[in-house]
Chain A
Amino acid sequence: MRTDDEHVADRLRWLDDEPAGPSRIDLPGAMREARRRRRNRRVAAAGAAALGVLAMAALPAALGGDGRAAPAPAASPSPSTPLPELGPNGPWQGVCRAELLPVPGDPQAAVTGGDPDGRWLVGRRAPQGQSRMDFGLLIWEGDRVREVELPGSMQKLTDVNRAGLAVGSSVGAGRELRAWVVRNGEVIGLPGETPRGAMAVNDAGRIVGYRSLRAPWEPGAKQLPVVWDSYQSRPVDLPLPGPQWEGTAIGIDEDGTILGTMSEGHREQSTRAVVWRPGAARPEVLPLPQVPGGKASQFLSLSLAGGWVTGLAERYTEVIPRSGAYMYPVRIDLRTGQADVLKGALWSGTGNGRGWMAGWVSDDVPGVITDTRSVKLPMPDGWRGERQGAVTSFSDDGRVLGGKLESDDQVRPVRWTCR
């Protein structure tokens, strides 16, 4: 081990302590929850034997192998017409190249969001300052980059619309959360009194996010979903599915539909997708999708675009597989309610307006999963070392993706462009 490695290892040993404050561990609660899961599994297992064949047959689309067209689900054709794989440059071929984005000065940075055309990408530098919590922000329009500073610390831009209006959040000196927009380089605070954060913006300039009852790192923290009609409007609480529900609005479609990731109480493990449609009086809690082996235990939403909700469906099982719990990339068509399990594995990532998904498809491989195939994304020329990172932006035409790459000693903002 290098001498400086030993130094780091020694410093790490300083962290070996218990968290401050009283434990929230509730053993009777753990036993109750375990009994409930055992009961549910018995019920599910009884039905699964009879339904197994049917369930597999009903798994629609996207289950063809790499590059092989999936048969259309004949029994229940989707009334919505998926966009054909056609763009201004012809059919999507899945031939991609990777390039590192320009960054003035220190090149350490990451992409944290983008617009539906892939023209705008937003991101931030690696943290600076003594406490390593100050993030300089970056907005790319094509290959041009603009530097932006938000007040406070832990600055992050999360989304940007086709007009280049970016939204994000930071933590102020008093540790309060603030939500911001950046418009033509000008930083404007979003109205509201309580701590709040902005997560997404659509082309109409509507912004969604959350307000926070107590800061996220305080005990008893709770987020509630909100919408700002514009960056000049006051935030309005979105109606909850029930009194105990909490969570965050994470996406807004061009038609005004809002997606939230919510749960019924902080301690409840099951996270669900919740949708607010324009004009509807109440939110809809989307049903948990069917995945191989049965119904998912929870659904972790990633994105909403073009009427498609994408996310990861998790199913608890008796035996923990080596890789962790069973996770499936799933897209839900809000026009029909139909949920498709896409072929392949995905670690986090994001979706686009065709219901395609992009992210890390295995330990060290970024990739795209469309409705018919999966495609690996390349590394930039000369990239050495590890291949970890994230995909945080995926254009509706499937041709521009943004994210970050990390290796031993660097983090770089990356853009993939595909034919």
Chain B
Amino acid sequence: MPDASDQEYVEYVTARLPALRRLAYGLCGDRDLADDLVQETATRLYQRWARIAEVEQLDAYVRTVLVRHFLDTRRRGWWRVRLFGGPPDVRFTEDRGVEEQTVLRDALAEVPPRQRAVLVLRFLHDLPVEEVARTLGCSPGTVKSQTSHGLAAMRRLLGDRELAGRTGEER
């Protein structure tokens, strides 16, 4: 039954939807899966909404729910997740180019999930290391090492001459 608290929930989530969809899309690189992630996050948030007033930083809390649910779905080898390796969403952006985005998203999708989450939170969402550490429930040192591993993985996957690093020498 709708009440004032429900109204607050709807207003809050509606205002946060663009940011949550951006985050989810950055993490999984797939429009449908991104919406599934946000839908589940919204569901879990509502389950706790009655007690949520005690949470000091609601935005950070919701982000944490979303990121951890993402990691969880990746960990369990969720069958639907890029099961077929279908091409990621392809969109044309004038100054960036469809190819570049496709290549980047495809590479990002191959980075192990925790490293990917670190890269997305730090570089797509510009969160400080400490905030990323709280979100993932690990130490700032781990975030730094995961950043380094994740960037190395991206260099390897992108495989450009200019970025190739060690991969180029192995061939």
Contacts and interface: CB of A to CB of B under 8 A. Distances in A.
A12 to B, nearest CB: 4
Interface string B104-115: 111110101000
Among B35, B101, B171, the most chain A Cβ lie within 10 Å of the Cβ of B35
A27 B10 contact: yes
B171 A30 contact: no
8 contacts: A12-B154, A16-B125, A19-B21, A24-B35, A33-B43, A34-B46, A217-B89, A320-B44
B71 A324 contact: yes
B98 to A, nearest CB: 10
Given A20-B91, A175-B87, A409-B167, 15 more contacts: A5-B155, A7-B162, A15-B105, A19-B34, A23-B35, A26-B39, A30-B42, A127-B106, A131-B102, A132-B159, A153-B87, A348-B76, A388-B112, A406-B153, A408-B148
How big is chain A's contact interface, by range? 35 or more
B101 to A, nearest CB: 7
Given A13-B123, A106-B170, A177-B84, A18 B35 contact: no
Interface residues of B, number: 84
B47 A16 contact: no
Interface in A91-147: 105-108, 126-127, 130-133
A250 interface: yes
B133 interface: no
Q: Closest 10 interchain pairs by CB?
A: A348-B77, A324-B72, A34-B46, A30-B42, A19-B31, A217-B86, A408-B152, A154-B85, A34-B47, A30-B43
Interface residue SS majority, chain B:
helix
A132 B86 CA distance: 12
B38 A25 contact: yes
A2 B91 CA distance: 30
Interface in B25-52: 25-26, 30-32, 34-35, 38-40, 42-49
B76 A327 contact: yes
A88 interface: no
Contacts of B149: 386, 408
Contact of A4 (B88, B125, B165): B165
A382 interface: no
Interface string A216-229: 11010100000000
A217 B84 CA distance: 9
B163 A21 contact: no
B32 A300 contact: no
B87 to A, nearest CB: 6
A4 B155 contact: yes
Given A16-B125, A30-B46, A23 B17 contact: yes
Contact of A8 (B9, B89, B158): B158
B160 to A, nearest CB: 9
Contacts of A132: 103, 106-107, 157-159
B137 interface: yes
A8 B155 contact: yes
Interface string A380-413: 0000001010100000000000000010111000
A302 interface: yes
A9 B171 CA distance: 25
A15 B90 CA distance: 12
Contact of B76 (A1, A177, A347): A347
Nearest to A107: B170
Contact of A248 (B13, B83, B103, B163): B83
Contacts of B87: 133, 153-154, 171, 175, 217
B14 interface: yes
A367 interface: no
B156 A410 contact: yes
Contact of A154 (B84, B153, B157): B84
B59 interface: no
A14 B100 contact: yes
A84 interface: no
Contacts of A349: 77
B76 A31 contact: no
Contacts of B26: 15-16
